Structure 1
Amino acid sequence: MNDLSATVVDIRKLWTVFKSADGEVVVHRDLDLRIERGEVLSLVGGSGTGKTVLLRQILGLEKPTKGTVEVLGRAPGELSAKGAANVGMLFQHGALFSAFSVLENIAFPLRELKLLPDELIRNAALVKLQMVGLEPRHANMSPADLSGGMIKRVALARALIMDPPLLLLDEPTAGLDPEASDSFCDLLRGLHRELGLTVVMVTHDLDTLFDLSTRIAVLADHKVIVSGSAREVIAYPHPFIHEYFLGGRGQRALEALHDKPAKAPPPSAGAAH
């Protein structure tokens, strides 16, 4: 597989087992998942199903107990500093450095490479700052002075500073009010379209899920039990799916989705698997 392959992430027969005082806890068992170029793939599941763990394994921060994870044909742990630029990560709470300014936070991954002059790094960070809807006047602000929505945007700019083809999102709209959440979803949708990104997202927010996903994968019983469009997933007979999607919150989110105008399909979106 090379970087031009349609498959961006390929997870096969993955096991994740954690040790506890009571023995071993199996989180994933023989989990299979393929993510194609151009998708916005959302992972949903109950507490303890290992959604964020899976993101961390794709990023290379954790290793599975058994099985394989490949990102653009390589194991995440084999990525060089240059290869690591293939994956950007937006953490749930932003994970900004409190002692750094906004611009220093955005520039940090590039600066760590020690390959580019300071002026070029600063210019690249300013471009990303404006790409996420912020202005140059925000560059010298401290994270402590930012709203929750602005923190998300700065963290997103940092995740995109090295122009990765793959973007991982952990609860991207958590903590935002409805207006800020809608605005952030609009931003993500526009960047996905304009940059041709492949996105893997974990979210509990049903509005965000229905608004952005081109495919949904449901984690239950230690594996991906079903993946497909919202309609295909909701039709799958499983207690978690019935409770999650067909309860009161799910029904309200579906009704809101039906009330919105249809969006154009994303470019180069891969087929569902």
Structure 2
Amino acid sequence: MTEPVVQIHKLWTVFENGDKKSVVHKDLDLTVERGEIMSLVGGSGTGKTVLLRQMLGLETPTKGDITVLGKPAAELGKRGAASRVGMLFQQGALFSAFTVLENIAFPLRELNTLPRELIREAALVKLQMVGLPADAADKMPSDLSGGMIKRVALARALIMDPPLLLLDEPTAGLDPESADSFCTLLRSLHQGMGLTVVMVTHDLDTIFELSTRIAVLASQKVIINDVPQKVVAFDHPFIHDFFLGERGQRAMALLKNPTVPSI
């Protein structure tokens, strides 16, 4: 049996503010299998982005175990995760003083193990992979549209061909046409590169368009982690309000995938 890409067991996340303690995660378990696209959804304060950062090794849980690609997630934070895990932050997080190509090439340049010309060629390949023209290479982030910023950030996340890609609100701030185009790109890259994807998103169209499984965070843990049609049928107040309202019904009705029926 193939080893899970991400394995989280009995995870606790507790934040302290003076004498007050806030428990965000309590005995949280989660498994991400190789090759799937998993969406993390939940209400405000359920720690979705915190969980992504813990997978990346940028934050340490209070207790519990997180294994990513067979290694403790904490080792990713110490050694640098770019070669094993790509991360697309919500606003792109591009360096404003760098050109597009410099932003994409940054992780490779930080390693300082390849000739500059080879790094440039690799960055140009990734630029093309995310659907941007070669003449975008010398543009500055301030010259880019929201959709272009997302694509540049995605190219940077993929520059070292990581097997795992983490996405924080990948279509946030995009108009419907740009969001649809970005989803199409993600699906193509997922298939073409054999990626495993974990994303946090509130966008129902994105969730139903891409997800092979949905993990729902509520009551400080994952209450269900399953295929979309089983998640929307799960009896819980958050799931009912989030998935079965007018927007959820519309998103499912428009979905072309017949395995996720309208309810």
TM-score computed with the length of structure 1 as normaliser: 0.92
Counterpart-to-counterpart distance in 2, 1:105 and 1:246: 40
Cα deviation, 1:159-190, whole Å, max 9, x if unaligned, reads: 00000000000000000000000000000000
The answer for the alignment partner of 1:64 in structure 2 is 61
SS at match of 1:7: coil
The alignment partner of 1:164 has SS state of coil
Q: Structure 1 segments of 4 or more deviating over 6 A?
A: none
Residue 180 (structure 2) pairs with residue 182 (structure 1)? yes
One of 66, 83, 86 as aligned partner of 1:85 = 83
Aligned to 2:200: 202
**Quick check: 1:52 aligned with 2:49?**
yes
C-alpha distance in structure 2 between counterparts of 1:22 and 1:241, whole Å:
33
The counterpart of 2:20, out of the listed 2, 19, 23, is 23
Provide the rounded CA distance (Å) in 2 between the counterparts of 1:172 and 1:245.
Answer: 19
* Structure 2 CA distance for aligned equivalents of residues 20 and 242 of structure 1: 33
Is the Cα–Cα contact under 8 Å of residues 87 and 166 in structure 1 kept in the other structure?
yes
Q: 2:240 aligns with which of 239, 242, 250?
A: 242
User: Which residue of structure 2 aligns with residue 220 of structure 1?
Assistant: 218
Cα distance in 2 for residues equivalent to 1:95 and 1:262: 36
Q: Could you say what secondary structure the match of 1:190 adopts?
A: helix
The whole-number CA distance in structure 2 between the counterparts of 1:262 and 1:204 is 22
For residue 251 of structure 1, report the CA deviation from its aligned partner: 1.0
After superposition, the C-alpha distances for 1:186-244 in whole angstroms (9 at most, x for unaligned) are 00000000000000000000000000000000000000000111110111111101111
Q: Give me the identity figure in percent.
A: 71
Which residue pairs with 1:144 in the alignment?
A: 142
- CA drift of 1:82 comes to 7.0
| 1:191 counterpart residue number | 189
**What is the CA–CA distance in structure 2 between the aligned matches of 1:194 and 1:117, rounded to whole Å?**
27
Measured in 2, the distance between the counterparts of 1:70 and 1:88 equals: 16
TM-score scaled by length of structure 2: 0.95
Query: Partner of 2:10: helix, strand, or coil?
Result: strand
Which ranges in structure 1 are unaligned for 5 or more consecutive residues?
Answer: 264-273
Give a deviation string over 1:104-134, Cα, whole Å, max 9, x none. Answer: 0000000000100100000000000000000
Partners in 1 of 2:110 and 2:209 — Cα distance?
35
- CA 1:245/1:96 → structure 2, altered by over 3 Å: closer, same or farther? same
Do the aligned partners of 1:93 and 1:152 also contact (CA within 8 Å) in 2? Answer: yes
> How far apart are the structure 2 equivalents of 1:83 and 1:144?
27
Whether 1:11 and 2:8 are equivalent positions in the alignment is yes
In structure 2, the residue matched to 1:159 is 157
Number of aligned residue pairs? 258
Separation in structure 2 between the aligned mates of residue 90 and residue 64 of structure 1, nearest angstrom: 21
- Distance (whole Å) between structure 1 residues aligned to residue 19 and residue 183 of structure 2: 41
Task: Verify the 8 A CA contact 1:14 1:66 in the aligned structure 2.
Answer: yes
Tell me which residue corresponds to 2:32. Answer: 35
- Aligned residues: CA RMSD: 1.5
How far apart are the structure 2 equivalents of 1:179 and 1:97?
A: 26
